[in-house]
Amino acid sequence: MALIVEYELRTPVLRPAEATDNRIHLEEGYSTESGALKLLFWAIGEESESFQATVRDDQNVIELSLLEETVDRRLYSVTLTDRAANKLTYPLAAEHDIVILEGVVTDSTLVRARAPSREALYAYRDSCLERNVGFRVKRIYQEKERATDRYGITESQREALLAAFEAGYFAVPRDTSLSDISAELGISDQALSARLRRGQANLLAQTLGKDLPRFE
């Protein structure tokens, strides 16, 4: 049975943002077609302009884009420098079949993830340490198998895929649009598109071949 792991990372990614009054919840990390590494994250708090200025002044950030905004939370996309991208652990986790379930940036980065085994977890930890990214395991426990665990997808990917399927997004011709589904879920078109792509890729990797890459 898979393991649920809670651990702490020491990485420079989004570190200046911890000094603001916002709470950072990591959504996804991914590579673009051009090879740039991006992070999607939620900033929860009332400050907006000062927070954006702080992140844009971060030497690890190339570009910050506001994708969505509500009363007290905002969804951002940030493009990282090569130096910061080398400290991003999403790709390292994927190499060891580890799925990031939740990430929160405070004075460190607190992560909850699913690991197939202790060996995979420790190999991932060693890869992080080799890149000078501090790694400390806080808790390891087993969890009953859920659909997300069985098929290698995150909760957000499962929610997006189910909503799209039930609305007829995968029908030919389509019965709905990306915008309609994103409005129903309360997220941006870009965030929904990313979840669908990565969710489908993970389903294929899990069902058709273990050697295919995984995406968070």
Residue 104: its pLDDT value, please?
Answer: 85
Tell me the pLDDT of the chain averaged across its residues.
82
Please, which residues have CB within 8 angstroms of residue 174's CB and are 6 or more apart in sequence?
168
Please, which residues have CB within 8 angstroms of residue 26's CB and are 6 or more apart in sequence?
39, 40, 41, 100, 102, 103, 104, 105, 109
Residue 199: its pLDDT value, please?
Answer: 85
The helix or strand, by DSSP H or E, that contains position 79, with its residue range, turns out to be strand 73-80
Q: Give the pLDDT confidence of 119-178 residue by residue, as tens digits.
A: 999 999 999 999 888 999 998 988 665 555 566 777 888 889 989 998 999 988 888 999
Please, which residues have CB within 8 angstroms of residue 147's CB and are 6 or more apart in sequence?
158
DSSP conformational letter for 48? -
Single out the residue of 22, 41, 49, 29 nearest to residue 106, CA to CA: 22
Residue 209: its pLDDT value, please?
Answer: 57
pTM above 0.85, yes or no: no
Distance CA 126, CA 111 (A): 16
Tell me the domains of the chain and their CATH numbers.
3-142 (no CATH), 147-208 (1.10.10)
Q: What are phi and psi of 103, to 5 degrees?
A: -145, 130
